[in-house]
Structure 1
Amino acid sequence: MWATVSSRADRWAIPLWAGFAALNTVLMWVLPGAETIPFHLIWISLALVYGVRPWPLPATFAVCACVAVVTGIPLFRHAHSQVIALEETAEIPLMSTLFLVMVWHVRRRTAAVAEARLAASRERVAHEMTERFVRIATHELRTPLTVARGYAEMLQVDTSDPELAADVGVVVEELGKLSRITGRLAALAWAHQDTSDDARTLDIGALLRQVARRWAPVANGAIHVEAVPITVAGDEERLETALDCLVENAVLHGRAPILLRAEHDAATVVIEVEDNGAGIPSGRATELLHGVVSPASSGSGLGLMIVRGIVETHGGGIALVPSPSGGLKVVITLPGILRYATTSATTQAGS
């Protein structure tokens, strides 16, 4: 609706200006001595109408020259009649130059906006192509990997040769890694999708306890939760996936116990996943969040990229900081607290 109204205004801008300029030109002739007021109104209105609807450069020069001539004739006539001083005719080249400078700035801004839109369009197309490639690749890889792993596990069970069984075990392990990477690639593409349609109210404290219970057997029960019941708006499935990735990283690369904590202030929910592992070297936090894996790293780096994508689609942020114990603490901040509970709870999963 607004676009339609704006388009109509653009179409009527030039005719309305032409009528306004013609009226002020007449006033310049009939008001000797006061002609500078309609003179400046003509040039000001010309600048305004050009800002609303820029013209091609040849038409711009032609209009500028025409206005200079039409407004200049009465000025020279009144100067010749000694109604005004001859110096006042200097307004003609000055206003023409000022208008052309404005035209130069408008054209530069228009070109910059067009370039920015083109860059944004290219980035969007590249992002869509990347997502499409990831979806197709993960879909096509999942079935053959599952089949290959199934046959390898059968060979491992059926063979009576210990050396062959060990070799097949290596194949099974590597196929398992490929399957996990494939699943994380699919999650990475899914993590960056808009969450607004799936958002609902959920209790972050309950979600942390749910994640802790699921991972308790893997962590030998050494996973703790410290959280108040905080109600926020979000996609529960995606936030649970993000927490799963963080706990999995803590289990694989950290040392027990693992602590899940949730707090809040006036406008922010803070979720922390802390382990007692070796931590990360200084300066590696940004690289890890962007999936840059060092040659000495044993992981793919996809887990933290998935977490970052999910958190950012919820309007939040993520940071990696050293924990007091020397391990790694992942701090997630989420906006949009709806209501708080004043009681706190500290639970140990599996207890």
Structure 2
Amino acid sequence: MRKGPWPELLWAVFALANIAVIVMFPDGATVPFHNIWVSLTLLYGFRLWSLGATVPILAAVCLGTGMAMTVTVLTNGLAVGELAEVPMMAAMFVAMVWHARRHQGALEALRRSSAREREFIRDASHQLRTPITVARGHAELVRGGATDPQSVDDADVVIDELDRLSRISDRLLILATAEHRGFVRSSVDLGQVVETTARRWPPAADRDWRVDIVTGGHVSGDAERLSAALDAMIENAVKATVPGDPIAVVLRADGDEAVLEVIDSGIGIADAHLDRVFDRFWSSPHAAQGGGGGTGLGLAAVKAIAEAHGGSAEAQPTPAGGATVRMRLSGFVPAAAMQPPPLSLVLPDVAL
């Protein structure tokens, strides 16, 4: 966004100086002449004036350079053909303006389309919450009143699928809102986020759980979204493993960045798929060993949340098999003075 007219004013001084050079040193008129037009093109590329401003500026440049070149032709015997440079440069500038405005229009259309998509996803996610909650409540009533095992199993399937729909709805809402950087920020204790989030998983998944808080500390951000991102990373590891497999959740520092890692020993990630694991609705072609296929929204939400916090997300295979999903968060403030020695928790042994 433009902050003021200073670039234009400085360029005007530069252009007038070059016009003076054309008149005073006609033998070298080509260099200052092209200086004016090239600098005008560069300035427009950064400023993208409206048509109402571009037309008079172009007319003034044509008039100024045309008059200066005319003076050199009349007083110094330069070839009249030199004057043809003015309309040629003006035509090239007009062509550049047309392409720049066409590109700007395409970007605006893309931004509007993205905004409509986010608004639709946000509204749809909100609208889905109520019927999912109502349907789940009725399914639980049916299950509670069922007397035969088949009816109980059928009700359990319905409840499980409604829970899955609820998770999809929640992650769609995260994707629609996480990229908006205007969320309320506060100082987030990442060690507490890691411990609280990881403790939810042992009752739900029989794995060899371990949490290593190597370096505790704080970042500025949204604790709920960061917890949702870590949940998605852990869920990804659960789906890639089988009961008894080890899963490690690690918090450490790397310079001024906090690094959150979830390391598993599951099916791993093929090198050809490393660039796609964070794409929306993409799932590994290999059937997950631990819990069926995913929705392709979990790691996409991780990336969106990380980038909304000024960080990044990455994934890589581990040398012994399995995968590491990593989220980096900038602006990490270690809490070494307030933190006890590095904390290592084996979650099944911790009271939940």
Per the shorter chain, which TM-score range?
0.7 to 0.9
Name the residue aligned to 1:31.
none
How far apart are the structure 1 equivalents of 2:140 and 2:126? 22
1:182 Cα deviation after fit: 1.5
Q: Which amino acid aligns with 2:203?
A: P
**Matched ranges for 1:146-295 at <5 A:** 146-194=133-181, 197-220=183-206, 222-226=208-212, 227-255=214-242, 256-291=245-280, 292-293=282-283
Answer 1 or 2: which has greater helix percent: 1
Deviations 1:66-102 (A, max 9, x none): 55444422224xxxxxxxxxxxx23x534x3555554
1:262 Cα deviation after fit: 2.1
**Matched ranges for 1:71-86 at <5 A:** 71-76=72-77
State whether residues 264 and 270 of structure 1, in contact with CA within 8 Å, keep that contact through their aligned partners in structure 2: yes
State whether residues 149 and 175 of structure 1, in contact with CA within 8 Å, keep that contact through their aligned partners in structure 2: yes
Higher mean displacement: 341-350 or 251-260: 341-350
- Sort the Cα spacing of 1:93 and 1:339 in 2 relative to 1 into closer, same or farther, 3 A: farther
How far apart are the structure 2 equivalents of 1:272 and 1:347? 15
State whether residues 277 and 327 of structure 1, in contact with CA within 8 Å, keep that contact through their aligned partners in structure 2: yes
Pairwise CA RMSD of aligned residues?
3.9
Structure 1 counterpart of 2:301, from 306, 309, 313: 306
State whether residues 24 and 41 of structure 1, in contact with CA within 8 Å, keep that contact through their aligned partners in structure 2: no
Q: Which runs of 5+ in 2 are unaligned?
A: 44-52, 288-292
Give the percent of matched residue pairs that are identical in Structure 1 and Structure 2.
30
**Matched ranges for 1:84-95 at <5 A:** 89-90=78-79, 93-94=81-82
1:336 Cα deviation after fit: 2.2
Q: Which amino acid aligns with 2:332?
A: I
Deviations 1:239-280 (A, max 9, x none): 111001112222343243321112223343322101222223
Q: Find out whether 1:336 has 2:331 as its counterpart.
A: yes
How far apart are the structure 1 equivalents of 2:233 and 2:248? 11
Q: Which amino acid aligns with 2:199?
A: R
State whether residues 263 and 270 of structure 1, in contact with CA within 8 Å, keep that contact through their aligned partners in structure 2: yes
Secondary structure of 1:217's counterpart equals: coil
How far apart are the structure 2 equivalents of 1:233 and 1:324? 33
Name the residue aligned to 1:125.
112
How far apart are the structure 1 equivalents of 2:221 and 2:95? 42
Name the residue aligned to 1:320.
315
How far apart are the structure 2 equivalents of 1:39 and 1:166? 89
State whether residues 265 and 321 of structure 2, in contact with CA within 8 Å, keep that contact through their aligned partners in structure 1: yes
Secondary structure of 2:97's counterpart equals: helix
Higher mean displacement: 118-127 or 298-307: 118-127
Name the residue aligned to 1:81.
none
State whether residues 218 and 332 of structure 2, in contact with CA within 8 Å, keep that contact through their aligned partners in structure 1: yes
**TM-score scaled by structure 1?**
0.75
1:37 Cα deviation after fit: 7.5
Q: Which amino acid aligns with 1:200?
A: S
Secondary structure of 1:251's counterpart equals: helix
How far apart are the structure 1 equivalents of 2:40 and 2:314? 48
Name the residue aligned to 1:86.
none
Deviations 1:135-188 (A, max 9, x none): 111122221122122222222222334434433333333222222211221122
Secondary structure of 1:260's counterpart equals: strand
Q: How many residues align?
A: 325
State whether residues 216 and 334 of structure 2, in contact with CA within 8 Å, keep that contact through their aligned partners in structure 1: no
**Which structure has the greater CA radius of gyration?**
1
